[in-house]
Amino acid sequence: MRFYNREKEIEILNNLKGDFRVAIVGRRRIGKTRLVEEHYKKNCLTLFISAEKSEKEIINGWIDEYKDIYLVKVDTFKDFFEYLFTKLKDKIIFIDEIQNILKVNKSFLFDLQRLIDKHKPRLIVTGSLIRTMKKTVENYKSPLFGRFDMVLRLKELDFPTTVKICKDLNIDFETSIRLYSVFGGIPKYYELLEKLKKFEFEKFIPDMFIYSPRPLYEEVRTMLKEEFGKEQRMFFSIISAISQGNTKLSEIANFVGKKPTEITKYLHLLRNDFEIITREEPITGGKRGIYKIDTNLVDFWFSNIWRYQELLEKKDDEKAANILKNNLNSWTGKKFENIILDLLRGKIIKSPFDFTEISRWWGNYRDENNVRKELEIDILALNKKTKEILFGECKWKDEVSAEKICKELKEKSKHVQWNNDKRNESYAVFAKSFKKKINKFEDKKVYCFDLKDLEKALIK
């Protein structure tokens, strides 16, 4: 597959001159190695570190890989990199998955510190374990602290880029949304699609996660187990709780059978160290914060695969696959909201006004019988200066009634306490298709977007 996006990262790398040290941090399959090798090409010497091999075996593997370059035969990383930094100053030395050194020879980090200080090499390192890389590169107690000119955090490709990839693979726009709802912007899985003779979404997803040998089931599980280490059970339980709709602190604690104070540490680690969950608060104020899983693939895996693990262990693949197939449409609908929010934030979908904040909204009220009712609004955008506010709803359905949705939005909007007597309201409805689009509901402006409108906006 050809190389997509990463213009900002390439621009940063292009601006580096002389000797430099760069650390690139990002999850597996995100494209770290591809970025470095694509940019530096033959000027880059890639040295992958396997956690399962001995120090000498790894070095011998590098020597065999680069037979055209005379590399000295030594037994230790220290001697090997001393040679590289001395004799191959014209090359960019690229250490791929540097965190694996901790399992092979932890003390080499101190040797590497001294070698960097002595030789000032052109060095790039990458790592997939987010928390470990933070400790290795950014923690002041680490021997490598302060040895890198910059740390690049490589994120998933954005939705518009994945749509472009899918278009190049002759995958239609609707299916590209469905794929993004599962895989997000992880390039590796779109590379897999390019290699398939046939592709049918409804068959592909169960084949990858449910039916034996279910290749992506173990991949996701192994990745997370490696990240979490000894406390994986608690982390798995917390993420599982969130994936099943337990998004408040008290709900998560109840799900895992702990007191709220006993899980705040784990929530903090999942947010700040592992970067797997985020916390959101309503943009109109309040402390009713909720937690959500930040990565589509992890969210999908816990919601639709790990949740039914017992069926897989019993080898009842067919039942698990039927559950998954029945859930796929509603799953896409859930992620469709996030896609729309991102397109609005990126100004790809034009908002009726320049908003200063945009997010989902949730709250509660009491009905005429004093019964507490929860409610949500998919999209709420506002401009604090002009007092403009947009209420939006996303429906992953065909033949949607825009008028009906606007009636529901009007009722919900009454419970959003924000400049109620001064604000200028408008509505937006996003759907696969409409029975009939409208541009006005009572005295409010209405903006309707179907899949054709969204695709046109992306093309522009």
CA triple 182-264-297, angle to 5 deg: 5
* Cβ 161 vs Cβ 185: under 8 Å: yes
Q: Look up the domain containing 292 and give its range.
A: 165-337
Look at residue 1 and tell me if it is in a domain: no
| pTM, 2 dp | 0.93
* Cβ 180 vs Cβ 165: under 8 Å: no
Q: What pLDDT score was predicted for residue 287?
A: 64
Bridge-based pairing state of the strands 277-280 and 290-293: antiparallel
What tens digit of pLDDT does each residue of 289-330 get? 899 999 999 999 999 999 999 999 898 999 999 999 999 999
Average pLDDT over residues 225-237: 93
**Between these two residues, 205 and 421, which has the higher pLDDT value?**
205
Percent over 70 (pLDDT), the chain: 100
DSSP 56-110: HHHHHHHHHHTTTS-----SSHHHHHHHHHHH-TTSEEEEETGGGHHHH-TTHHH
| Beta strand ranges found along 134-235 (DSSP E) | 150-153
Look at residue 366 and tell me if it is in a domain: yes
Is the same domain home to 132 and 211? no
Counts for the chain of helices (H) and strands (E), in that order:
20, 15
Tokens of 185: 């912007």
Return the CATH number at 182.
Answer: 1.10.10.10
What tens digit of pLDDT does each residue of 73-125 get? 999 999 999 999 999 999 999 999 999 999 999 999 999 999 999 999 999 99
Is the same domain home to 318 and 380? no
Contacts of 321 (CB under 8 A, 6+ apart): 206, 210, 211
* Cβ 349 vs Cβ 275: under 8 Å: no
Q: Which of 285, 316, 337 is the last residue of a domain?
A: 337
Is the same domain home to 198 and 332? yes
Look at residue 278 and tell me if it is in a domain: yes
Q: What H or E segment, with its residue span, contains residue 30?
A: none
Average pLDDT over residues 172-189: 96
Q: Which of 337, 364, 388 is the last residue of a domain?
A: 337
Which residue is associated with the tokens 């992890």?
298
Decide: helix, strand or coil at residue 333. helix
* Cβ 132 vs Cβ 99: under 8 Å: yes
Tokens of 451: 């899949």
Is the same domain home to 327 and 397? no
Using left for φ > 0, alpha for ψ between -120 and 50, and beta otherwise, residue 257 falls in left
What tens digit of pLDDT does each residue of 26-56 get? 999 999 999 999 999 889 999 999 999 999 9
Distance from C-alpha of 321 to C-alpha of 307, rounded to nearest angstrom:
12
Is the same domain home to 170 and 319? yes
Look at residue 301 and tell me if it is in a domain: yes
Is the same domain home to 369 and 417? yes
Look at residue 342 and tell me if it is in a domain: no
Is the same domain home to 211 and 270? yes
Is the same domain home to 420 and 301? no
Distance from C-alpha of 78 to C-alpha of 110, rounded to nearest angstrom:
10
* Type of residue at 180: Y
Distance from C-alpha of 378 to C-alpha of 412, rounded to nearest angstrom:
11
Look at residue 2 and tell me if it is in a domain: no
User: What does the DSSP 8-state code read for residue 129?
Assistant: -
What's the domain count of the chain? 3
Distance from C-alpha of 252 to C-alpha of 241, rounded to nearest angstrom:
6
* Cβ 344 vs Cβ 449: under 8 Å: no
Distance from C-alpha of 390 to C-alpha of 387, rounded to nearest angstrom:
10
Is the same domain home to 142 and 16? yes
CA 31 to the chain's CA centroid: 13
Q: What pLDDT score was predicted for residue 332?
A: 97
Is the same domain home to 183 and 332? yes
Is the same domain home to 132 and 216? no
Is the same domain home to 332 and 353? no
Return the CATH number at 93.
Answer: 3.40.50.300
Look at residue 244 and tell me if it is in a domain: yes
* Cβ 74 vs Cβ 59: under 8 Å: yes
Distance from C-alpha of 458 to C-alpha of 173, rounded to nearest angstrom:
10
Look at residue 40 and tell me if it is in a domain: yes
Distance from C-alpha of 195 to C-alpha of 184, rounded to nearest angstrom:
19
Average pLDDT over residues 141-160: 95
